[in-house]
Structure 1
């Protein structure tokens, strides 16, 4: 870390000490990038130079934007950020928007000027935004005008945040940023940031409590495309991406922005990416790659004629929660195209273990993406034999760097990233997800996987959703407790709870059945759709 394009060195100064970093393994042929690298320039202007200018880059609100239009649009905004708001390389800029092309253009512009983008969820409240603003010392926020109220409330109460500037997420140019950008040139000399300058602060989605700020370099944004997207998805310029994850999360930013733009493909951006809307727009835009969670795929497959409507897909990507064998088999029985499971982490930016299209199989998360290696370790940090459940550790070209956070030392040990997931590995090298380490339940001397019990419960005809956690019990240490959302029209009754318990006993080993059953109207989830089991444990 010598050269830097940042004049504001806040993020570089707040990187963890070098001896707390994970080993970053950069393949000599695949992941070599020049010292000076601006990821946003590579995803736009460079693509125009390569001849992709007239190809469709982004689709949203019924309008299609070409690569040339996206490059021009983001360059106008970049000029505005420098000329009108004095943004310097290294400044942190908060972005708040729903999934739409405008958000992508704004994110690219922020990255082009060498600033550090902090993408935030549109449903965050003023108090939650304030924590991010204070933590990252943010002075400028760019907010989609339809959801600006909470941002303004944050601004009014903050001594740190100096300006909130609106932009139009629809098809017009009604925001302050848009009006200023209309008068700017369509060319901009992107700041020559270093490949290891921080480009993105990704705040964790909160499945395990207080959020942490993860730090990602310019090269990292290209690594996830040149690795996972190239190897596993085999992206072609003719591909059309679609999906539900928010762009504010790294899973969504990769799958719906970085991956398509890196390869000259297209992305359909939906503000309402419900399962029914996904089916509708897959058919309308002949999407070929879909990103969403297993629960959404289950709903999509339950719709009449959905397989016909989704016939343009060539691969479905499942992440966020483990892909059950039940959903996997249902998908293959109806769709005849691959569905690939994978596991990633905000700390490592995107997916690092995945199935491959040619050898995906139920119940298997897959093998390491090129450049990554993984092991299963016990509590003493010793590797366990195949077939033994332990903690997953991984290293590769990306890795955890928390911004000024003592939890760095817990996530990284001896150069390995400790993901917090319990896994086992088969003799043929396939990594098999068991649970989050926190979701392993120790009851009556048995170790029980919460997600395994969930999968069994979900096979019951009355169950729509469920989450299984360990509840404190004096006699057994913990009880297996199931929180269940029933299908529409089904009444919550004691007899039904007993029937579900009996059903689970007949489906998996009887000692794993839920001794406590609680019916609920809904389950707590992050805005990316992940179950927040820790909230159920807190109850």
Structure 2
């Protein structure tokens, strides 16, 4: 309302991650808490543009440049003069991590609100009497767009919870507040599945009428599980920080094909293209691309024009960086990030396809898959798996898993190497960080780790 550009950050960021974002954005003011401000202080000398630190919950012992949020509110006028802006004025910057270098500042404009409003209404199926809960952290784009702006624009009552994942706590929230629409992540759903069905029986979840997920592809096994325990289908959807709002979705009226991203939102032109920008027929794997021009499309990468231009290097298209295919019914299917696809002995294998098959094995709770260099095959498939309780790692189990994947997928698609691990590195939004798995396995630099979920 004051015309300033906002920039949310994860509360789990360390001093280096905070410094990188504040330095690149040249932020002049930061709103935080006294506890989190301790990390800011470690980087403050490197932030000459930062003039004000507004502390929520602090009234005493303020240092130079620090302000008490409560004190400033008490002194403020009851009348607020709104600054009128143009639709193309910058609204917010969200930083996304890359494989190398510093995180990039994806910049959006006020016109985004059009997309926020209509996608929240029609994809999440929100109605006037709903109680809505988006479990995403506000430091992640889903938490910003669909945890704040989308429901606000639609006038929806919503639940806000600041704690970490806990199956019993989450179910108790749904029961207590009678949540009707629940928007969460596949990782959270897999963790709930791992927690077991007996917990669910302790809570009344009958208020739920609609469940959506986002952040990474939703495994078919989770969809089948959700239908069994919640008696509701889980509607997956796809979008990116750069797209600013949901682009492809499984809508309330759309029959779900387990594992599919769904179909494009009205007005969104999505196609599968080859490296030269030629459209590919249904069933052919290629690059997922969007026709530019929708309201919430990124407008720039903050202070990096070259990086912005890379998104539009294929004439007439926005390059998502994802590989996918479209079936004969117009549903889109995620294959993997373009730089994640494994080429083993001439066969292109998407890691998500293998991961989805792996978690259908009774012993496996989570899985991450990478391509590992191999002299004979170019690359081999390597899987990192987290076991369910009651299962022990062994050579026999490895062989059983390999045979399981051969039968589920194909002889060329099974993991020739399997490593049992306690966890799979993920972002705080739940995406498997395959580049981190690969870098650690090969002894290479891991790149930016500021969005890595901490154990």
TM more than 0.5:
yes
**Residue 135 to residue 206, structure 1, CA distance change in 2 (3 Å):** same
Matched, 1:181 2:73: yes
Structure 1 residue 459, shift from structure 2 partner: 1.2
Contact kept in structure 2, 1:257 and 1:267, CA below 8 Å: no
Contact kept in structure 2, 1:342 and 1:354, CA below 8 Å: yes
Q: How does 1:350-361 map onto structure 2 within 5 Å?
A: 350-359=245-254, 360-361=256-257
Matched, 1:374 2:270: yes
Choose which of 404, 422, 440 in structure 1 pairs with 2:303.
404
The residue aligned with 1:69 is none
Structure 1 residue 334, shift from structure 2 partner: 2.6
Matched, 1:331 2:226: yes
CA distance in 1, matches of 2:355, 2:346: 20
Gaps of 5+ in 1: 1-111, 170-174
The residue aligned with 1:3 is none
Structure 1 residue 500, shift from structure 2 partner: 1.4
Number of equivalent positions = 423
Choose which of 154, 158, 161 in structure 2 pairs with 1:267.
158
Structure 1 residue 451, shift from structure 2 partner: 0.7
**Greater fraction of residues in helix:** 1
Contact kept in structure 1, 2:111 and 2:295, CA below 8 Å: no
Q: How does 1:130-529 map onto structure 2 within 5 Å?
A: 130-168=19-57, 176-206=68-98, 210-220=102-112, 222-276=113-167, 277-301=169-193, 302-304=196-198, 306=200, 309-359=204-254, 360-395=256-291, 396-400=294-298, 401-405=300-304, 406-412=306-312, 413-529=314-430
Gaps of 5+ in 2: 59-66, 441-455
Counterpart secondary structure, 1:135: helix
Counterpart secondary structure, 1:290: strand
The residue aligned with 1:25 is none
CA distance in 2, matches of 1:168, 1:188: 23
Q: How does 1:40-79 map onto structure 2 within 5 Å?
A: none
TM-score scaled by length of structure 1: 0.75
Contact kept in structure 2, 1:207 and 1:532, CA below 8 Å: no
CA distance in 1, matches of 2:251, 2:421: 37
Contact kept in structure 2, 1:279 and 1:300, CA below 8 Å: no
- Residue-by-residue CA offset, 1:375-411 (whole Å, 9 max, x unaligned): 1001121101111011000132322322232122221
Contact kept in structure 2, 1:471 and 1:537, CA below 8 Å: yes
Structure 1 residue 176, shift from structure 2 partner: 1.1
Counterpart secondary structure, 2:86: coil
CA distance in 2, matches of 1:323, 1:156: 43
Q: Which has the higher contact order (CA 8 A, sep 6+)?
A: 1
CA distance in 1, matches of 2:408, 2:182: 31
CA distance in 2, matches of 1:488, 1:335: 23
Structure 1 residue 227, shift from structure 2 partner: 2.4
TM-score scaled by length of structure 2: 0.88
Q: How does 1:73-88 map onto structure 2 within 5 Å?
A: none
